[in-house]
Chain A
Amino acid sequence: MSSAYGDTYNVKVTSGVLVTCDSAAKQILLHLDSMREGPYKFIIRDFNDDTHVLVKREYVEDIKELLQNELEKNTYIQDPNL
């Protein structure tokens, strides 16, 4: 490897919360994030991996709740009168 470019050895360090989930849940998270604007976006880094995503620490509880709500919307509930 050429050492001509000194900054090839640079390293970027970011802290946050690593979320591990199934791929469906990750897609929902990406969707939820895309609906949000500027500073309210919670995803720090999405990378080429089906089951992981890096998010901001302060939004973790919000994300869990948002996901629950989204899942609840997609659940079939039998009409009790049937």
Chain B
Amino acid sequence: MVQPSFSHPKKDAPATTSSSPTAALDTFLDNQHQSYFEELYKSEAVCLCILRLLPPVCRQIILHYLWAHGTIRTTDVKQFLQKDIQAPLAEVDEVVRPALNRKILHPMVHKKNKMQWPLNDTFKRGLRNALTGLGTSNSFGVPYDRDPNDEVPTEEELIAYGEDTFELLHDSGLMTDPADPSGRSPNLVRLTITSKGFQFLLEDRQTQLWEILMYYLTAKEANSERSAETLSMFFSLGCMQLGQDYSASQSFPHAQNALNDLAQYGFIYKPSEESDQFFPTHLATALCSGDASATQSQTADEKRFLILETNYKIYAYTSNELEIAILNLFVDIRIRYPNLVVGKLDRKNVKAAMEKGISAYQIIAYLSSHAHPQMYSSPPPLLHPTIVDQLHLWDKERNRLKTEETVMFEFFSKELYDDTESEARANAALQLAVPGQKLLFIEPQTKPAITEFVKERQNLLRSGL
């Protein structure tokens, strides 16, 4: 039997990984209606952030036509992109598609043989105001009128605060250290770590932030609350400045509750619960920057603490409780020193993790992204193939059987078999064909169609063609 090679896993294998940090936001926005966007675009900050999230060429086109009075003509866009005037519309459409999806452009209209996209008026006004500093919605935040003698936290303090709170959220929300004296049964908490939860831990910081925010937003919607205000507040926070304090009541008069919730997640810092003054932390201010490193707390070196030997032993140079708890998911931890954890990847623990839905790809991604610099000094590949293969084998063990509902057609006539096979193949209804015994396996939902076909052929053949 030919063994499949695991050393170069196909790129598409972990289908859950998203390329863009704002993937969660994008899916949310893609499902919204025109009216939702109209409400969002009342805020200048939203217009600016949405613009930033567009692909560069699309952004350029929007900015190019922002101050024009007319609509955007397809012929102009073609010229702008230096495409042939006869080029198919699909090519242009592809470029401006993101703007159409965000309802920045209205769907195409035909006027006197000219095809054009009208620019959304609300968006146009919002972005113009954002660029010129006009507008009255206070969406960029209103600075807090503070006593000049008041003590103000420094940027470093704000970053540290955001970090601590966010880490705490990780700890309590996703998993806890078994030794955590929080009173929760660690067993129960560990049950909550799912494939999705683990995937979440593998994402970079900005993706995580957007995922949390979108989760929060969908929860709000489920309670049938209006989410547009809250979403536009997220964007406003993203445009604020680190180290500056803002007035909560004036900046977000309609979203006070949501703002308090964000304080718990570490997005903002409030000196006291009732205070009207708040400071956005780096988690909030970097939301729309597109610069992943801005939200990254751990420097690259801090993240690289794992040494994995070919004998499955793991040395983790870390004292971070969260990291140790993650390791504990699939590593049999044997020794724990203040700055070093020694353990072993063994079948029992890895399979237990896989039972929870964590895939081999995810474990491998975790191991390689946390590999100690020392591991790079040995010849590549980074992780020894033995271990990578073994992880995949353990994963495969979990589901060695692939089962699918089927309908088996058993034929006695070669002619009829051949005809039906080609018919089923043509309709993509065929699961398996065994010519030796004249057996066909057909998708159950196509059974009526195939039966029909077989009957017709039977009649034809029986009547002697």
Contact = CB atoms under 8 A, between A and B. Distances in A.
Interface of A: 1, 3, 6-23, 25, 44-45, 47-49, 52, 54-55, 57, 60, 63-64, 67, 71, 75, 77-78
19 contacts: A8-B412, A11-B409, A11-B410, A11-B411, A11-B416, A12-B409, A13-B409, A13-B451, A14-B408, A18-B408, A20-B401, A21-B402, A25-B400, A45-B439, A48-B434, A54-B441, A67-B400, A75-B347, A77-B348
Contacts of B452: none
Nearest to B434: A47
A15 B404 contact: no
B407 A3 contact: no
A48 B156 CA distance: 70
Given A1-B414, A49-B434, A75-B347, A9 B458 contact: yes
A16 B346 CA distance: 37
B221 interface: no
A14 B444 contact: no
Contacts of B348: 77
B258 interface: no
Contacts of B436: 47-48
B365 interface: no
Interface string B422-452: 0000000001101011010100100100010
Contacts of B451: 13
Contacts of A55: 403
A13 B403 contact: no
A6 B462 contact: yes
Interface in B382-421: 397, 400-416
B404 A18 contact: yes
Given A9-B413, A63-B401, A45 B408 contact: yes
B370 to A, nearest CB: 26
A23 B439 CA distance: 19
B408 A15 contact: yes
Nearest to B465: A3
B347 A13 contact: no
B461 A9 contact: yes
A8 B412 CA distance: 5
A60 B348 CA distance: 25
A49 B431 CA distance: 14
Given A9-B462, A11-B411, 5 more contacts: A1-B415, A12-B409, A13-B447, A20-B402, A52-B432
A67 B401 contact: yes
Contact of A77 (B347, B397, B402): B347
A15 to B, nearest CB: 5
A53 B393 CA distance: 22
Given A9-B461, A17-B405, A22 B400 contact: yes
Given A1-B414, A9-B461, A11-B458, A18 B401 contact: no
A30 B412 CA distance: 26
A7 B441 CA distance: 21
Closest 9 CB pairs of A and B: A18-B406, A12-B410, A20-B402, A14-B408, A15-B407, A25-B400, A8-B413, A21-B401, A9-B458
Contacts of B407: 13-15
Nearest to A55: B403
A18 B403 contact: yes
Interface string B53-75: 00000000000000000000000
A57 to B, nearest CB: 7
A31 to B, nearest CB: 15
Contacts of A20: 401-404
A52 B404 CA distance: 11
Contact of B1 (A15, A23, A49, A64): A23
B454 interface: yes
Contacts of A8: 412-413
Interface in B20-78: none
Given A25-B400, A47-B439, A77-B347, A16 B406 contact: yes
A9 B416 contact: yes
Contacts of A15: 405-408, 444, 447
Contacts of A25: 400-401
B408 A54 contact: yes
B88 interface: no
B354 to A, nearest CB: 12
A60 B399 CA distance: 13
